[in-house]
Amino acid sequence: MGYFRKNIEKASGYTPGFQPAQKNIVKLNTNENPYPPSPKVLKAISEITAEQLRRYPDPVGNIFRKAAAKLNGVEADYIMCCNGGDDLLTIAIRVFCDENHSIAYPVPTYSLYPVLAELQNCKAIEIPFDGEFNLPAKLASTDAGLTIVCNPNAPSASFINAGELASLADELSGVLLIDEAYVDFAEENCVGLVKDFDNVIILRSMSKGYSLAGMRFGYAIAQPELINGLMKVKDSYNIDTVATAAATAAIEDQNYFRQNVEKVKAQRKILTEKLRQLGFTVPDSFANFVLAGIKSCKANEIYDKLAQRNIFVRYFDLPGLQDKLRITVGTPQQNNKLIESLKEILSE
């Protein structure tokens, strides 16, 4: 057609995880929390009035900003609400990257990063992890406008401690965005870095630990000067009234949240042990999924055979991942069905 910018014409776009329409499935492919959100979320949604829906929402979500700030030990002006974590990634790349300012990140990692770089027409510098997913030393010397570290990383579920990321932030000339979408399932986080570094942004998601993937809500934590710059680029009303009420109710119910997270972590341990007993190589996970490697069979064939049984996991046909499956931690019933099916497949 010739209407598109050249980089858009060439772009393939992001491929979301498969969303099966049929019922009676075991869906372990998109890292959703298998347990429902807090009952207080449903109550908050039910109390939304027609008048609230008639009017535009609070464009910055002040009620949520205050709740998130209190939880994270910062002031409300350190918080920016987003339409999911992906919204923040889009905003950050638009703010810090262009043809003359690159983006850098270790690989393999979240597959949206290169897509957004392509859309922004900026250079993407990909630094390979080593076999144990340690932070690459070369990441500090790329001179990128924006460096992203997914931590815990997807799809490896590995974790880099805050001290290492503090050292990286200190060395960088640009901004460090730490994507903590899965940090609810780790033992520590990096939120303390925002007080010490004016070039650090923390990304948080309400999709994983808080079971709100269907609401699309996330937030940034950073020093106010960074937040103010990000605010210039966000959509005028990037969060809606219902999602803001739901996310606020969720983040305020920390007792329910912690119980949910502990259930997922307990099942993660059991699932890891059972997969190892079947011959899979499964590193310790700090997320709500595991990365399971297999040498005796082809991972893509296992993926297909599971799908035939209405069990869906994630397979990436990418370097370093062709012999692995990423498996979301499900309920005990879902995990048991997966394991029993894997036993059948591996014995064929």
DSSP assignment of 24-65, as one string?
S-EE-SS---SSPPPHHHHHHHHT--HHHHHSPPPTT-HHHH
Question: Per-residue confidence of the chain (348 residues) as pLDDT tens digits?
Answer: 678 888 888 888 877 776 777 778 999 999 999 999 999 999 999 999 999 999 999 999 999 999 999 999 999 999 999 999 999 999 999 999 999 999 999 999 999 999 999 999 999 999 999 989 999 999 999 999 999 999 999 999 999 999 999 999 999 999 999 999 999 999 999 999 999 999 999 999 999 999 999 999 999 999 999 999 999 999 999 999 999 999 999 999 999 999 999 999 999 999 999 999 999 999 999 999 999 999 888 999 999 999 999 999 999 988 889 999 999 999 999 999 999 999 999 998
Fold of 6-36+255-347: Aspartate Aminotransferase, domain 1 (3.90.1150)
pLDDT at 320: 87
pTM: 0.95
Element of type H or E holding 335:
helix 332-347
Q: What would be the CATH architecture of the domain defined by 39-253? A: 3-Layer(aba) Sandwich (3.40)
Between CA 222 and CA 76 the distance in angstroms is 10
Q: Sheet of 218-221: strands edge to edge?
A: 79-82, 218-221, 200-205, 175-179, 146-150, 103-107, 124-128
Q: Are 172 and 140 in contact (CB under 8 A)?
A: yes
Two structure tokens written together for 244 = 């803001």
- Give a three-class secondary structure readout of 214-232: CCCCEEEECCHHHHHHHHC
51: burial class by Cβ within 10 Å (0-12, 13-18, 19+)? exposed
Between CA 135 and CA 128 the distance in angstroms is 9
CA atoms within 13 A on the CB side of 230: 31
Domain boundaries, the chain: 6-36+255-347, 39-253
Q: Are 146 and 93 in contact (CB under 8 A)?
A: yes
Q: Are 108 and 155 in contact (CB under 8 A)?
A: yes
Two structure tokens written together for 236 = 């005028």
Residue 263 CB neighbours (<10 A): 16
Which residue type is seen at 216? R
pLDDT at 1: 63
> Which residue reads 């998601």 in tokens?
205
Q: For the chain, what's the residue count?
A: 348
